[in-house]
A and B are shown apart, each in its own frame.
Chain A
Amino acid sequence: MVFWTTLLILHALLAVALLGAITHQTVSVWMPVRSAAGSFVGRYRAVPSHSYATAVVVLYLLTFVLGAWIYTNYRYTSRLALEQLRFFKVVGAFEVKEHLAVIGLVMLPAYWCFWRQPLAPDHAAARKQVTLLLAVLVWANFLIGHIVNNGRGFGS
């Protein structure tokens, strides 16, 4: 129990770091500041977006591997309990999460190519769109993970 809980917390911490990195990059690439940033929001937007690419890839891989490992325990402990309690929406939400996680994972090679320096101008639009979709997937998975954990997570 302690082992799996530790893994789950580590998975969540990595997800928080990933969420921060991909959100920062998405905001800075979609809403770049044109002049000197003064406010907190302006400084948030002013970061060099390309500097996050490697961090996003590494954090995504680590979060995915840990999640895939924890999944084995979830499948025959928490999920069985959720089904007995008829929490089908929570079970379904987790099923959505496993698919979205895979889709995000397989976008990473292209995402990384698009962000390689020097940035290719003919990939500018795709770079923005792929980054946005990746951010949406990461946010969705983060929120679903939180909901599932509330359903049958730590201490329940």
Chain B
Amino acid sequence: MTASRKSVVFAMAFGIAYCVIYVICTEVNLPLLTYHPATGDVGLFYQPPGRGPAMYWYGWLLTALIGASALALIATALPEPWVQRVITFAAAFAVLYLIAYTAALVIYERATMELDFLKDRSWSAIVALGFAPLVTLFMPGAWMQRIWPGWLWVVPLGAAIVTTYYLTPYFTR
């Protein structure tokens, strides 16, 4: 039996939202709990290492699980074109932010004077926030009718690239 449209929407929204929230959790360190493997202790939210190392990975999984489940449930209650529009906006924001921040860092490195404000991420976020609605607005109407299933490989691929990129210090030491 083929999957119902609501379950497909839930599955797609869940996968996309989970990837995004998970990347944020790893970057900002937002674990729902902390596990201390040496002692077997579990603590709520972030806790510093005690006797032995602390593990946040399980906490990130749970934070992303709760967030993604909530967003996916909301997505099933909304008209599909709205959900597609929100995903398009978020994807455009992420790409534009990446471009703006990379450009800001390149300018900062090559400038002959001190432009410290360029290192502030909020400027890049503001630029992305300004242009993302335009990208969303100029998308063809036919494309906005249903959730594009291709998001299910585009967003996870982006998440894989970003999380791997953040780990480059391990490979350049």
Contact = CB atoms under 8 A, between A and B. Distances in A.
Interface of A: 68, 71-73, 75-76, 79-80, 88-89, 91-93, 95-96, 98-100, 102-104, 106-107, 109-114, 116-120, 122-123, 125-126, 129-130, 132-133, 137
Contacts of B61: 102
B164 A106 contact: no
Nearest to A75: B37
Interface stretch (B5-13, B86-94, B120-128, B129-137): B5-13
Point out which of A88, A107, A111 has the most chain B C-beta atoms below 10 A from its C-beta: A107
Given A95-B170, A98-B57, A106-B68, A130 B152 contact: yes
29 contacts: A71-B55, A72-B35, A72-B55, A75-B37, A76-B38, A79-B53, A88-B171, A91-B170, A95-B170, A100-B164, A102-B22, A103-B22, A103-B159, A103-B160, A104-B156, A106-B14, A107-B15, A107-B152, A109-B11, A110-B12, A110-B14, A110-B149, A113-B8, A116-B1, A116-B2, A117-B1, A125-B150, A133-B156, A137-B160
Main secondary structure of the interface of B (DSSP, over half): helix
